[in-house]
């Protein structure tokens, strides 16, 4: 069999198959005009393949001319369908060019049937058999150009211009898909048409001998069209699949949103004025008390709101719809019971309703418990005995309770416009703003102005001592603070009374200690007094016997003065210990205190045959303490150490007193003895009142010492020594100047 006929038959069959496949898809979507035009194009190419195969096998010129004449019909159909497909598929093209091509094609078709031998030849063509590649023989025609050749060339040129114009316009759209279609579909049509027309002209002119390639050329752009339509079908399928997946995800998201909304008692609703439809979620219907069968419209929604709040909600919705804005408010629901039900409403307008009309979408939530909690909080704040304020970062007072009005003498509305600093005394206001800013940088519950004596100022200008506490408050940390101002007038009075009682007890304790030292102190005084008496008597005798030796008298008088000063110093120390004076905290060198106490008890230590050893730290920083009370503590510890060693041999009676500076800003004093130590079960109790190991002791000395140390912000404790005896230690803070 001639391979040419076989190939052309296969190409025609392929065109028919493509036409059938796309016809079935077009029948499912009749609105897809590109599919129908492709079916027509594929069918026309299949018919052209048949005519071309018959022409290459014809035996007479008349038969060949008839085939050419009738072959113009599928060519006409092909050109019209191609132009229609390109315009529909590429979405571009000048219509007047298509009309011109169609008019010329119709004219040429009519002339082809009206003239003889047709519009393609001037006279009957000459046929010849030509052997082509593969040994196949085909019939070729050669003849003069017809009378209407110029019209045919013009038609073909306009046809190509139309295809090029469609492709260029589609390319200029800049979209990747449009450019792909312009290049594949438009480019393949232009290339195939130019190649097929040029090849046929060369055969007709006798310049080449070859089979006609109109069908193969057309099949090229047919395959390009089929590929693009298939890609479009694939994209449509993917789009449909993606759409279904998106719908499924949307449904899943809606279910999740409904689940979340129901979990947090959130009702979602939508009011479309254009359709006059009100949609509500399950949670929304339950919140407003609607059943599934109940009609839902805006009036019913408003009817579920308490009559006192209904007009406010209606005006807010109307304003939002009018201005395309939003609203947020709280209102009450109609309730048949005695308790109120409160909800929060939030609505926002969007323009995606029917015909682009405005749609009001909103959320509602039951806040009854929140309102109750707020009322309960307000009641707690009002009933709290101290002044409470809510303060923002700028210090503005947002809320004040009734005790605040009473404490500062302001009315409830008078706090508006005031800042927290305005409630403090004038001398502290400049520092108060800095304290407030520092607090909001690190908002934790703490006392403001700790370590300073703060005073509040009433509306009438009077002042009173206060403490200020702040606690973070609000939705965000550092947004607001709950400030409590405590009037400590009564507390300060009680503290002063307690201080006076403590000082009285300390004085009594000192008197008791001095009583224990009375014999030694009497001896300390007797020595200088006896010396004064002896020197005075010696001076009198000397003047009676030798009145002229004044130098010797001067020496005696100097001894009398020194002994008098010695006795006076003893009396001064005793008066300092026994006199009730107000506690004065000052910078004090504890080394000097140790030396003073050592001199005071020296006679008693001598009588008891006790040795006092001191190790005083050089460059010891000054401590913040009261001199008399430090002497009392140290004297009490030394006397206790002497008592603890009363049973020992005199050579073993040694007391060590040392001072040291610590890294934690404290000064430490240690008093160590060589006694029997303290029973372990009693070492924690010896500082409690009425705890004593002495047969005649009151048990208040160490208790007073602990009270004194706590008042000095220090500590006192006892430990047993590794070998024997015990060591009592106490600490007081280093003196530092207060910085405002």
Q: Up-side HSE of residue 228: CA atoms within 13 Å toward CB?
A: 24
Q: Name which of 115, 97, 113 is nearest 155 in CA terms.
A: 97
At 612, is the pLDDT very low, low, confident or very high (cuts 50, 70, 90)? very high
633 and 697 share one domain = yes
Q: Is 379 a member of any domain?
A: no
Distance CA 107, CA 80 (A): 14
Q: Can you give the pLDDT at residue 614? A: 92
Query: The domain containing residue 284 runs over which residues?
Result: 264-371
At 522, is the pLDDT very low, low, confident or very high (cuts 50, 70, 90)? low
Q: Is 436 a member of any domain?
A: yes
User: Tell me: the pLDDT tens digits for 129-164?
Assistant: 777 776 677 777 766 665 666 777 788 888 888 888
- Which helix (H) or strand (E) segment holds residue 535: the answer is helix 518-545
Residues 304 and 315 sit within 8 Å (Cβ to Cβ): no
357 and 393 share one domain = no
Q: Is 505 a member of any domain?
A: yes
Mark which of 220, 236, 252 sits at the end of a domain.
236
Which residue, chain included where needed, has tokens 């503590």? 633
Average pLDDT for 209-217: 76
Q: Is 437 a member of any domain?
A: yes
pTM, whole model, 2 decimals?
0.37
Cβ atoms < 10 Å from Cβ of 23: 16
Q: Name which of 510, 327, 481 is nearest 395 in CA terms.
A: 481
221 and 299 share one domain = no
The pLDDT of residue 554 is above 60: yes
Among 31-35, 36-40, 145-149, 247-251, the range with the most confident prediction by mean pLDDT is 36-40
29 phi, psi to nearest 5 deg:
-135, 80
Question: Token pair for residue 644?
Answer: 């603890």
Specify the higher pLDDT residue, 519 or 540: 540
Q: Is 740 a member of any domain?
A: no
At 656, is the pLDDT very low, low, confident or very high (cuts 50, 70, 90)? very high
Q: Can you give the pLDDT at residue 390? A: 83
Least confident of 381-395, 472-486, 494-508: 494-508
Among 3-7, 473-477, 667-671, the range with the most confident prediction by mean pLDDT is 667-671
Radius of gyration of the chain (CA): 58
Mark which of 319, 350, 371 sits at the end of a domain.
371
The pLDDT of residue 691 is above 50: yes
List the beta bridge partners of residue 345: 329, 364
650 phi, psi to nearest 5 deg:
-55, -35
C-alpha 62: how far from chain center: 91
User: Tell me: the pLDDT tens digits for 415-455?
Assistant: 877 888 888 887 777 777 777 777 787 778 888 776 677 88
CATH number of the domain that residue 678 is part of: 3.30.565.10
688 phi, psi to nearest 5 deg:
-80, 155
Residues 673 and 667 sit within 8 Å (Cβ to Cβ): no
561 and 596 share one domain = yes
65 phi, psi to nearest 5 deg:
-65, -35
Q: Is 250 a member of any domain?
A: no
Identify the burial level of 34 via C-beta atoms within 10 angstroms of its C-beta, where 0-12 means exposed, 13-18 middle and 19 or more buried: buried
288 and 314 share one domain = yes
- Which helix (H) or strand (E) segment holds residue 628: the answer is helix 627-644
474 and 550 share one domain = no
621 and 728 share one domain = yes
Q: Is 725 a member of any domain?
A: yes
Specify the higher pLDDT residue, 239 or 105: 105
Specify the higher pLDDT residue, 512 or 131: 131
Q: Can you give the pLDDT at residue 725? A: 92
Q: Is 622 a member of any domain?
A: yes
Which residues 6+ apart lie within 8 Å of 597 measured at CB? 631, 634, 635, 638
Query: How many residues does the structure list for the chain?
Result: 740
Q: Can you give the pLDDT at residue 202? A: 78
The pLDDT of residue 81 is above 60: yes
Q: Name which of 640, 629, 655, 635 is nearest 694 in CA terms.
A: 640
Long-range contacts for 328-335 (Cβ within 8 Å, ≥24 apart)? 330/367, 330/371, 331/305, 331/306, 332/305, 332/306, 332/308, 333/288, 333/289, 333/304, 333/305, 333/306, 334/303, 334/304, 334/305, 334/306, 334/307, 335/306
Beta strands in 257-383 (DSSP E): 266-272, 277-280, 326-333, 341-350, 359-366
573 and 706 share one domain = yes
The pLDDT of residue 545 is above 80: no
Residues 36 and 26 sit within 8 Å (Cβ to Cβ): yes
504 and 480 share one domain = no
The pLDDT of residue 667 is above 90: yes
Distance CA 524, CA 521 (A): 5
SS3 175: coil
Question: Token pair for residue 217?
Answer: 């050329």
Q: Can you give the pLDDT at residue 620? A: 93
Count: domains in the chain: 4
- Which helix (H) or strand (E) segment holds residue 409: the answer is none
Q: Summarize the chain as % helix, strand, coil (round to 5).
A: 55, 20, 25
101 and 209 share one domain = yes
The pLDDT of residue 204 is above 70: no
Q: Please state, for a pLDDT cut of 70, what percent of the chain lies above it.
A: 77
518 and 645 share one domain = yes
User: Tell me: the pLDDT tens digits for 238-282?
Assistant: 666 776 777 777 666 656 655 655 555 677 888 888 777 788 877
Cβ atoms < 10 Å from Cβ of 379: 10
CATH number of the domain that residue 305 is part of: 3.30.450.20
Average pLDDT along the chain: 77
468 and 561 share one domain = no
Q: Please state, for a pLDDT cut of 90, what percent of the chain lies above it.
A: 8
Q: Name which of 700, 527, 516, 670 is nearest 608 in CA terms.
A: 516
User: Tell me: the pLDDT tens digits for 615-645?
Assistant: 999 989 999 988 878 887 888 899 889 888 9
CATH number of the domain that residue 211 is part of: 1.20.1070.10
Mark out the alpha helices in 388-517 (DSSP H runs).
402-408, 426-441, 489-516
Question: Token pair for residue 517?
Answer: 């030292």
Q: Please provide the DSSP assignment of 420-432 as one string.
A: GGGGB-HHHHHHH
The pLDDT of residue 731 is above 90: yes
SS3 605: helix
Q: Can you give the pLDDT at residue 739? A: 35
Specify the higher pLDDT residue, 655 or 258: 655
Long-range contacts for 252-256 (Cβ within 8 Å, ≥24 apart)? none
Question: Token pair for residue 102?
Answer: 């169609």
Mark which of 327, 348, 371 sits at the end of a domain.
371
The pLDDT of residue 126 is above 90: no
Long-range contacts for 415-424 (Cβ within 8 Å, ≥24 apart)? 415/389, 419/394, 419/395, 420/389, 420/391, 420/395, 420/483, 421/395, 423/456, 423/457, 423/485, 424/454, 424/455, 424/456, 424/457, 424/466
Distance CA 146, CA 122 (A): 4
Which residue, chain included where needed, has tokens 């007479």? 60
């Amino acid at each position: 069999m001639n391979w040419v006929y076989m190939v052309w038959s296969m190409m025609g069959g392929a065109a028919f198959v493509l036409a059938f496949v796309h016809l079935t898809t077009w029948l499912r979507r009749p609105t897809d005009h590109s599919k129908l035009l492709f079916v027509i194009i594929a069918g026309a190419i299949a018919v052209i393949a048949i005519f071309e195969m018959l022409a290459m096998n014809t035996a007479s010129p008349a038969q060949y001319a008839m085939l050419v004449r009738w072959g113009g019909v599928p060519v006409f159909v092909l050109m019209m369908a191609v132009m229609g497909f390109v315009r529909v598929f590429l979405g571009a093209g000048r219509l007047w060019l298509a009309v011109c091509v169609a008019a010329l094609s119709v004219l040429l078709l009519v002339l082809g049937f009206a003239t003889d031998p047709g519009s393609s030849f001037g006279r009957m063509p000459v046929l010849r058999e030509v052997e082509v590649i593969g040994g196949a023989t085909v019939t070729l025609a050669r003849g003069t150009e017809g009378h209407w050749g110029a019209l045919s060339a013009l038609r073909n040129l306009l046809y190509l211009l139309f295809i090029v114009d469609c492709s260029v316009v589609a390319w200029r759209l800049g979209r990747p898909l449009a450019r792909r279609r312009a290049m594949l579909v438009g480019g393949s049509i232009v290339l195939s048409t130019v190649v097929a027309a040029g090849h046929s002209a060369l055969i007709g002119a006798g310049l080449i001998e070859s089979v006609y390639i109109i069908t193969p050329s057309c099949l090229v752009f047919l395959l390009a069209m089929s590929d693009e339509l298939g890609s479009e079908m694939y994209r449509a399928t993917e789009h449909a699949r993606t759409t279904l997946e998106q719908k499924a995800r949307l449904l899943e998201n809606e279910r999740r949103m409904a689940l979340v909304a129901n979990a947090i008692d959130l009702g979602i609703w939508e009011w479309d004025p254009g359709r006059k439809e009100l949609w509500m979620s399950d949670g929304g219907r339950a919140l407003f008390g609607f059943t599934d069968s109940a009609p839902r419209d805006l009036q019913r929604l408003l009817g579920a709101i308490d009559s006192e709040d209904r007009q406010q909600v209606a005006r807010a919705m109307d304003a939002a719809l009018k201005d395309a804005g939003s609203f947020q408010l709280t209102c009450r629901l109609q309730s048949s019971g005695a308790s109120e039900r409160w909800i929060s409403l939030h609505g926002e307008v969007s323009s995606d309703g029917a015909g682009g009309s405005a749609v009001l979408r909103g959320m509602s939530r039951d806040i009854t418990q929140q309102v109750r909690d707020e009322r309960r909080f307000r009641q707690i704040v009002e009933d709290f005995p101290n002044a409470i304020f809510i303060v923002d970062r700028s210090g503005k007072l947002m809320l004040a309770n009734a005790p605040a009005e009473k404490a500062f003498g302001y009315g409830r509305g008078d706090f508006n416009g005031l800042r927290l600093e305005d409630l403090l005394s004038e001398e502290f206001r400049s520092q108060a703003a800095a304290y407030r800013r520092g607090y909001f940088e690190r908002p934790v519950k703490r006392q403001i102005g700790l370590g300073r004596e703060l005073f509040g100022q009433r509306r009438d200008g009077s002042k009173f001592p206060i403490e200020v506490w702040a606690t973070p408050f609000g939705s965000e940390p550092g947004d607001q603070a709950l400030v409590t101002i405590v009037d400590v007038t009564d507390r300060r009075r009680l503290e002063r009374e307690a201080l006076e009682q403590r000082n009285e007890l300390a004085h009594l304790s000192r008197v008791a200690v001095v009583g224990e030292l009375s014999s030694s102190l009497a001896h300390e005084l007797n020595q200088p007094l006896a010396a004064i008496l002896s020197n005075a008597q010696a001076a009198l005798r000397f003047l009676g016997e030798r009145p002229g030796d004044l130098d010797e008298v001067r020496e005696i008088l100097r001894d009398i003065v020194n002994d008098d000063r010695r006795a006076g110093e003893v009396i001064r120390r005793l008066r300092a210990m026994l006199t009730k004076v107000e506690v004065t905290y000052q910078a004090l060198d504890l080394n000097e205190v140790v030396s003073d106490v050592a001199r005071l008890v020296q006679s008693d230590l001598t009588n008891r045959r006790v040795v006092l050893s001191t190790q005083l730290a050089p460059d010891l920083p000054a401590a913040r303490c009261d001199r008399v009370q430090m002497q009392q503590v140290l004297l009490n510890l030394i006397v206790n150490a002497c008592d603890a060693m009363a049973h020992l041999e005199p050579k073993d009676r040694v007391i060590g007193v040392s001072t040291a500076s610590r890294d934690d800003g404290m000064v430490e004093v240690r008093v160590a003895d060589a006694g029997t130590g303290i029973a372990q079960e009693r070492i924690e109790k010896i500082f409690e009142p009425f705890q004593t190991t002495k047969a005649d002791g009151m048990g208040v000395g160490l208790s007073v010492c602990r009270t004194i140390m706590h008042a000095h912000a220090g500590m006192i404790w006892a430990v047993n020594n590794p070998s024997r005896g015990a060591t009592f230690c106490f600490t007081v803070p280093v003196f530092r100047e207060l910085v405002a």
